[in-house]
Structure 1
Amino acid sequence: MNLRFGLHARFIIGVMVALGVILCVVVVLLQRQAVMQREVIGLSRDSMHGLVSDRLRTRGQAAALQVADSLVNPLYYFDLDAIGVVVRGVLRQPDVSYVTVYDVRGNVIHDGSGDIATYGQAMQDPLAYEVVTARRTHVQSTDRVLDVSTPIRIGDQRLGGVRIGYSLSTIAADEAQAMAGMSGRLEEIGRRHTSWIAAAMALLVVLGVGVGLLVQRTLVRPIRQLAEAAREIETGNYTTALPETRRGDEVGDLVRAFGRMGQSIERQDRDMRRMAYTDPLTGLSNRLAFREILDQRLMHLGGAGHQLALLFADIDDFKRINDTLGHDVGDEVLVNFSHRISDAVQRLGGKDAVMARFGGDEFVVLIQSQAGREGEVRDLASRLAEALVSELHSPLMVQERPVFLGTSIGITLFPEDAASAAMLIKNGDIAMYQAKVAGKNCYRFYSRAMDQAVERRVRMEQDLRGAWERGELSLAYQPIYRMADSALMGVEALLRWQHPEQGAVAPSVFIDVAEQSGLIETIGPQVLRAACEDLRKWQRDFPAAAGMFVSVNVSPRQLRGGDLAEQVERQLEDVDLAPECLHIELTETAVIGDELRASALLSRLRNAGVKVWLDDFGTGFSGLSHLRRVPVDGVKIDRSFIADVLRDPDDLALTTAIIAMAHSLGITVIAEGVEKEGQFDILRERGCDLAQGYWLSHPVTAQDIEGLLT
């Protein structure tokens, strides 16, 4: 029997060959599908990781620069409280693991904790060396943290730096979760298409080709489009077009989810930019936005003949508001101030004026003149500054009570004073400081001489550091006599500085520098101990000194520190001096500025036996009624009243009233600045208890006091 290789066989063979080909194609397709899945997951993982890492790096650099700008003044004045406020604010941000403020040697100044346990310690972590040696914003990372650091400078002087650590564990977890979800979706899609292809094996080559085309259209193309969109988003193009689809399958879900993710990233980027360039309290532009605007103005103006004026305004004594009324009231005051400044700028600043909150209680205004109008910007800045000084001095009604503040304004001009944004801002700050030195609530134009004054002050601050240890600082004592019988009752300790190059420096000069820089918090306790030791030595060596006292001046900054009572008690215990032999002198304005806090502190001192005197009485804004609320043992009538007590009936009447009022409250009265015999006699007639002054004795050394006791 002859077998024919007929059409049926050929068909069967063709079908078998087709099925084999389809099977081979299916196998190849399955392999390619697995490869594509891995490629998509890898590409998506790399794109997402790069995007998130770049955003975190950009966010960290912007945050570090903003924090560094906020810490310039607190670090310059070594204000740990203000530094702590800024650091703790950053620590509350998500993903922030640590914030460290350090000095130029890499020693920790603040880490956001209450007790700053690492204060003064060198940073020892593996990233610390590059942080300390970096001259600009520096980013480095480990497997667990992204460390962003930037120096803190004032002008060309580096004060230290700040570093912010962002935890990478949360980002890694989010990436892993997202990749796991995407991998699961792709695997599910792969399984579904595998079943489709297995069913399609019953079809011939045409159906296999059709299935291949379907897979190409429904899976590979959308994923490639998503990958291209991911690359566009990675480059910062958040508005890239995504494939439109109405599909309800997983690929459609993936496309729509990817679109929502792109919109979310775009929205977050927009919100971050708004937060980075807007002050959240006042709604004004912040320091970063103002700096960019100023740079743009300077670049566009160039030689166009335009002039700019930068007004740098700082609220006078604003810290007193936060300390006495609370930060909520302080925020309300800042908002009201910003509205007043904004109204004045809109009226007088011109159409090109720009206003921003520079940080804390500082505001800046930029105004511009028209081309060819020389001198216009100076007149415009003067009118605006005068209006601001006048309007901001008017009382603010906060919580149904008037709040009186003022503002000090520094003005600098472009191109007359500086040609760069950094120098303009620096000059404006210098001029503002000179306005404060001039008495506050006024404005000053920048001049070259101001730079020299600031340099002298900085140099004096540097020289003052360690002056006590070098033996340059010493104590002089001015005797205090009882007016009834001219008996020596005590001495007032006065600090003197003998500079090795400049000679004797006036106390009014270097005490102010010590107060503003915070050095008084170190020098004050040293003065207190030295005065107590001298008095205790006199009491041991001279019987006439048994009942003597020593009075020591305490600055407002020491009073605000809160640990004055502990310092006094510790010094008295160490020296073995009776508490009643120590008199603490506080200025009237320092005490009245925060009566509740001062009353609690002074009550503790008095309960311990220490006497409290109110110095320069009559020069502040308080009335005699405050003596009933502030526990003091004595008041020192200011020398300005004593000087004219023989010529001016008003001063004599006021002095007499102070003596009578103080005696009615059981308070001792001391007259300072007695330089004439007639002054001594008339004060004794009015019942003044104690007196000091050049007519009685100039300030003398400790050895001279021993001569008086002998």
Structure 2
Amino acid sequence: MRFRIGLQAQFFAMVGFAILAASALMVLFWMRQQEVQTTVEGLSRQATDQVLDANLRRRADGTAEQLAKALVNPLYYFDLDAVGDLAKSTLRQPGVRYVLVYDADGNILHDGTADIPTYGRRMDDALAFEAIGARELHAQTTRDILDVSAPILIGGSRLGGVRVGFDRTEGRDFQQAAMTQLRQQIRDLGHRQLLAILLLSAALLALGGVVLALIQRTLVHPIGELADSARAIEAGHFDTGMPVSRRKDELGDLVRAFGRMSYSVARHDREIRRMAYTDALTGLANRLAFREMLDARLMQLNGAGRELALLFADADDFKRINDTLGHDAGDEVLLQFAHRISDTVAEMGGADARVARFGGDEFVILVEDGDVRAGATQLAERLVQVLSEPLVVQGRQVFLGTSVGVTLYPEDADGATALLKNGDIAMYQAKVAGKNCYRFYSRAMNEAVERRVHLENELRGAWDRGELRLVYQPVYRLADQRLVGAEALLRWRHHEQGVIAPSVFIDVAEQSGLIDTIGPQVMRAACGDAVLWEQARAADAEPLFVSVNVSPRQLRSGDLARMVEASLRDAGLSPDQLHIELTETAVISDEAHASQLLTRLRSLGVKVWLDDFGTGFSGLSHLRRVPVDGVKIDRSFVADVLRDPDDLALTTAIIAMAHSLGITVVAEGVEKEGQYALLRERRCDLAQGYWLGHPLEMEEFLALVAEEVVA
């Protein structure tokens, strides 16, 4: 009864408030009309100003940029007549107040007039400072002037610049007419709004009386019953009794639908709870269920002097299954994986052991019976053994293996979050150790992970801080021992730790994804340096190439060709002077994709070399299917070529086979004169190594290039 009276009171209040509000609006409307008109007019004026300025800015930018390009040759040859013709032509354009062409020091060379009264004077107006220093298109405004300046560049050198001043006062007449029309439209709109308010107030008053008479009989009581039932469901009483109605209208349908919904909610609640705690693919407990169970077990074990172990099992190279056989095959592999884990845990884990799938190819096992450390060790060994056995998927045998990380409670941590983190760290260390093995968590592992994270954070800003730099190892032609190019090598001198080995930070960059940022920076820098080499050589000298290593992650990204093309274009380097080096293992891991990408690179004119050839177990047959211009014999073969007949035979075979396919052969790691002589005898094309030259800083390499020119 109280609820029914409250609803009526609320409705009375709403109707009264609506009537009062309508009356107040009629009074306030006239008071606010002038203020609204002024505000709208101001905003409209501001908007038209912005539109006019934007149009003028686009025109000014285009005029200044076009004029700057047209002035390059006249200014380079100091042809003042040509400069004057261009300036006069621009000055005659509508709305142009002035044109100033100036040299790199800001001295005026031409102002578009016949006698050039300002010639030789340094620009000293309020806008001159920013215009002189601008290295790109630059705009400045005063109340009546839009000043746009553009540098005049040739190559990387700045010859000077041009300033064009445009009149901002044009268009004011158009704006004034538009504002007059807008004011009249606002007045008309105000009259219509007032009439609408009056009509609405009258209609609201009449409607309120009619609806109030019906509201109690048709809505209040049924809604009250539904509200009581809804509160019961909200409290979790899904089986509570529902109101019954024989009404044939929508409210009756609502009451009956509410009853059916209550039954359905009770049924689905049970199903949802089951789904929320179960992995859909394997039927195992999921992360949420395992975490709740783990929290409960830790509360029971707190202070009881008992232990438990968590084992994190992660399939090795599972992504390869999805990439090669498809996701359906991947799901089948995960099912077989889960069954083997469940069977092994049921056999060895004890009655209280639990298995959960945390997502992807990661499974977690809880063990707490008997000697926990010994039991976890035996279970981990058995899991590694069982999961390394081949799986049969779609009629094919698949070999995966697993990496297992083990953490103990309370030895390693006394909380669920820390235990889960430690288990993940131990599993990662098992993968680092070579995969298909297990590792127990130790605090040293945590420190190693923290060091790696710290190294990754430091690497993020290393290029901008100038800590990363390129050095160049010379590459010589064996036939005449002439310098033909250099390999770009990345080095990192940390501001605190000193020199960090490339084998360390390149791996961090690859796994963290930073190589996607560092790789293009290296490519652009190497192309720019190669252009400087050519400027230091005689015009008729043989061009030098620069070879740049590309990581497997860059090869998989699909943007490599566009990045290379942009780097060549920005640096102005001829494509045939850039060699891209890819490791053999990166290419053969996805030969179809790599072949397509390498074909696109070669279509640009870039040469492609296969690095570390002979270490990927690919065989020479791959040279017929992968479009490459050269192979680099791995240094491990060159190192023993003088004393190991097998390495000599393999090296000779690589050279002969590559030459038969028209492929250049490069030997790396040449550190002895005998190696050089033997490779030359076997007709190897190019070589690099410490005997020929150490990696050099840019200045040192330029000096070497100069010596070659003199020689």
Cα displacement (A) at 1:248: 7.2
Match of 2:421, as an amino acid?
Answer: K
CA distance in 1, matches of 2:302, 2:580: 59
Cα displacement (A) at 1:33: 13
Does 2:343 align with 1:343?
yes
Q: Secondary structure at the match of 1:530?
A: helix
CA distance in 1, matches of 2:386, 2:660: 42
Does 2:576 align with 1:585?
no
Change (3 A) 1:398 1:659: farther
Aligned residue number for residue 697 of structure 2:
701
Match of 1:486 among 477, 481, 487: 481
CA distance in 1, matches of 2:446, 2:572: 48
Q: Deviations over 1:494-543 (max 9, x none)?
A: 00001000010100111111111111111101101111111111111113
The 5 Å alignment of 1:473-552 reads 473-543=468-538, 546-552=542-548
Cα displacement (A) at 1:238: 1.6
Cα displacement (A) at 1:347: 2.3
Aligned residue number for residue 333 of structure 1:
333
Whether the 8 Å contact between 2:536 and 2:705 is mirrored in structure 1 is: no
Aligned residue number for residue 629 of structure 2:
633
Whether the 8 Å contact between 1:355 and 1:363 is mirrored in structure 2 is: yes
Cα displacement (A) at 1:353: 1.7
Change (3 A) 1:535 1:296: same
Q: Secondary structure at the match of 2:476?
A: strand
Cα displacement (A) at 1:252: 10
Whether the 8 Å contact between 1:476 and 1:702 is mirrored in structure 2 is: yes
CA distance in 2, matches of 1:629, 1:36: 86
Whether the 8 Å contact between 1:306 and 1:369 is mirrored in structure 2 is: no
Match of 2:518, as an amino acid?
Answer: I
Change (3 A) 1:236 1:579: same
Match of 2:524, as an amino acid?
Answer: R
Q: Secondary structure at the match of 1:418?
A: coil
CA distance in 1, matches of 2:704, 2:512: 37
CA distance in 2, matches of 1:545, 1:379: 72
CA distance in 2, matches of 1:626, 1:478: 28
The 5 Å alignment of 1:643-654 reads 643-654=639-650
Match of 1:611 among 584, 589, 607: 607
The TM-score normalised by the length of structure 2 is 0.65
Change (3 A) 1:282 1:34: closer
Match of 1:600, as an amino acid?
Answer: Q
Q: Deviations over 1:55-100 (max 9, x none)?
A: xxxxxxxxxxxxxxxxxxxxxxxxxxxxxxxxxxxxxxxxxxxxxx
Cα displacement (A) at 1:567: 0.6
CA distance in 2, matches of 1:392, 1:682: 48
Whether the 8 Å contact between 2:345 and 2:379 is mirrored in structure 1 is: yes
CA distance in 1, matches of 2:286, 2:323: 24
Change (3 A) 1:447 1:266: same
Aligned residue number for residue 459 of structure 1:
454
Q: Give the root-mean-square deviation of aligned CA atoms.
A: 3.2
CA distance in 2, matches of 1:400, 1:321: 14
Aligned residue number for residue 303 of structure 2:
303
Cα displacement (A) at 1:229: 4.1
Cα displacement (A) at 1:391: 3.0
Does 2:669 align with 1:668?
no
Cα displacement (A) at 1:326: 3.4
Match of 1:412 among 393, 407, 411: 407
Whether the 8 Å contact between 1:554 and 1:585 is mirrored in structure 2 is: yes
Aligned residue number for residue 424 of structure 1:
419
Match of 2:485, as an amino acid?
Answer: G
Q: Secondary structure at the match of 2:621?
A: helix
Q: Deviations over 1:264-292 (max 9, x none)?
A: 11233233323322222222222111111
Cα displacement (A) at 1:223: 9.2
Whether the 8 Å contact between 2:533 and 2:544 is mirrored in structure 1 is: no
Indicate the larger mover: 474-483 or 306-315: 306-315
Aligned residue number for residue 261 of structure 1:
261
Q: Deviations over 1:621-676 (max 9, x none)?
A: 43332222221111212222222233333333333332233223222222222222
Whether the 8 Å contact between 1:585 and 1:615 is mirrored in structure 2 is: yes
Cα displacement (A) at 1:34: 12
CA distance in 1, matches of 2:605, 2:640: 35
Cα displacement (A) at 1:448: 0.7
Change (3 A) 1:422 1:348: same
CA distance in 2, matches of 1:276, 1:472: 50
Q: Secondary structure at the match of 1:281?
A: coil
Cα displacement (A) at 1:258: 4.1
Change (3 A) 1:35 1:302: closer
CA distance in 2, matches of 1:579, 1:313: 48
CA distance in 2, matches of 1:35, 1:501: 76
CA distance in 2, matches of 1:337, 1:366: 17
Aligned residue number for residue 119 of structure 1:
none
Cα displacement (A) at 1:432: 1.6
Cα displacement (A) at 1:619: 1.9
Q: Secondary structure at the match of 1:320?
A: helix
Change (3 A) 1:402 1:466: same
Whether the 8 Å contact between 1:478 and 1:697 is mirrored in structure 2 is: yes
Does 2:569 align with 1:573?
yes
Cα displacement (A) at 1:692: 1.4
Match of 2:457, as an amino acid?
Answer: Q
Whether the 8 Å contact between 2:311 and 2:366 is mirrored in structure 1 is: yes
CA distance in 1, matches of 2:633, 2:389: 31
Aligned residue number for residue 116 of structure 2:
none
Whether the 8 Å contact between 1:499 and 1:505 is mirrored in structure 2 is: yes
The 5 Å alignment of 1:349-498 reads 349-370=349-370, 376-498=371-493
Q: Secondary structure at the match of 1:478?
A: strand
CA distance in 2, matches of 1:605, 1:363: 42
CA distance in 2, matches of 1:518, 1:580: 29
CA distance in 2, matches of 1:703, 1:417: 53
Match of 2:350, as an amino acid?
Answer: G
Whether the 8 Å contact between 1:410 and 1:444 is mirrored in structure 2 is: yes
**Structure 1 gap segments, 5+ residues each:** 1-31, 43-186, 192-218, 371-375
CA distance in 1, matches of 2:574, 2:447: 47
Q: Secondary structure at the match of 2:465?
A: coil
Whether the 8 Å contact between 2:665 and 2:684 is mirrored in structure 1 is: yes
Indicate the larger mover: 540-549 or 436-445: 540-549
Change (3 A) 1:411 1:38: same
CA distance in 2, matches of 1:663, 1:389: 46
CA distance in 1, matches of 2:240, 2:385: 53
Cα displacement (A) at 1:237: 2.0
CA distance in 2, matches of 1:264, 1:188: 30
Change (3 A) 1:703 1:241: same
How high is the sequence identity, in percent, across the aligned residues?
Answer: 69
Change (3 A) 1:688 1:337: farther
Q: Deviations over 1:424-475 (max 9, x none)?
A: 1111111122122222222211111111111111111111112111111100
Q: Secondary structure at the match of 1:624?
A: coil
CA distance in 2, matches of 1:586, 1:34: 78
CA distance in 2, matches of 1:525, 1:224: 68
Q: Deviations over 1:335-392 (max 9, x none)?
A: 332223223222222222212221222221211123xxxxx22222222222222333
Match of 2:422, as an amino acid?
Answer: N
CA distance in 1, matches of 2:3, 2:437: 75
CA distance in 2, matches of 1:338, 1:545: 65
